[in-house]
Structure formats: structure tokens, C-alpha cells
Amino acid sequence: MGYMALKHTHLLLIVLSIGLFFLRFIATQCNARFIHAKPFKIAPHIIDTALLLSGISLIILVGYPLWPINWLTVKLLLVVAYIGCGIVAMKSSTKAIRWGAAAGALLCIAGILHLALSKSF
């Protein structure tokens, strides 16, 4: 896969991951029935795994170093934190923790977007 195809695949996976996260979070808060369907339970794992793999593939393809710590290293750590916050937001039994984790995911997304556009931290 060429660089541009991989980059566009990565961007599509970003949109799918964020969109599905917020759809699932709001649906969970509203007790929507459709959210319990198997595709909504499986898709986030597939999308987030593909997102990480496409990001790592881009790093390898471009040959950008992760050490010493730079904007890309921090961005990768924020992606992992976003996924972790998403898991807590979906699985916690406490409403305050769910909302706090969702806010944490949103902050991670904002940080990732800032780093992706500015390429500095």
C-alpha cells in the first residue's frame, strides 16, 4: 500500500473511531437498544486495532524516529490513552466516572489533533 493510500486509510479510521465512540457513548447514556447488537460490540475493537496498525505502518514507512521523545511519540501515547478512556467510559458502572472518562477521551482527541496539525509539543 502506498503512502497516500495508507494515510487516507488512517484518516478514515480516525473518523470512524471517534464517531463510533461518541455514538456508542450517547446511545449507552440513553439506554438505546441498538447499542447491544454484536456489530457495535465488535467494530470498535477492529477499528481501533486497525487505527493503531495503520499509524505504526505510517511511522515505519516514513522512518520517523520515536526516540528521543517528540510530537509523534506523545501522539501515540495519547492514542493509547484515548482508547483506555473509551474503555472506561463504556464499561464503568458509575455515571461520574463514565462522563469523566468521556471527557478524558475528548481531551486526548484534542491533543492528538493539535499534535497532528502542529507537529510540535
Instruction: Confirm if 75 and 116 have CB atoms less than 8 A apart.
Output: yes
Nearest by Cα to 28 from 69, 86, 77: 86
- As for how many domains the chain has, the answer is 1
What's the pLDDT band for 121 if we cut at 50, 70, 90? low
**Domain span including residue 97:** 3-118
Write the CA distances from 15 to 32, 47, 51, integer angstroms: 22, 10, 10
Query: pTM of the predicted model, to two decimals?
Result: 0.85
Question: How high is the mean pLDDT of the chain?
Answer: 90
Mark residue 32 as left, alpha or beta (left: phi above 0; alpha: psi -120 to 50; beta: remaining): beta
Number of Cβ within a 10 Å radius of residue 85: 22
Digit-coded pLDDT (tens) for 43-99: 999 998 999 899 889 889 888 777 788 888 898 899 889 989 999 999 898 999 999
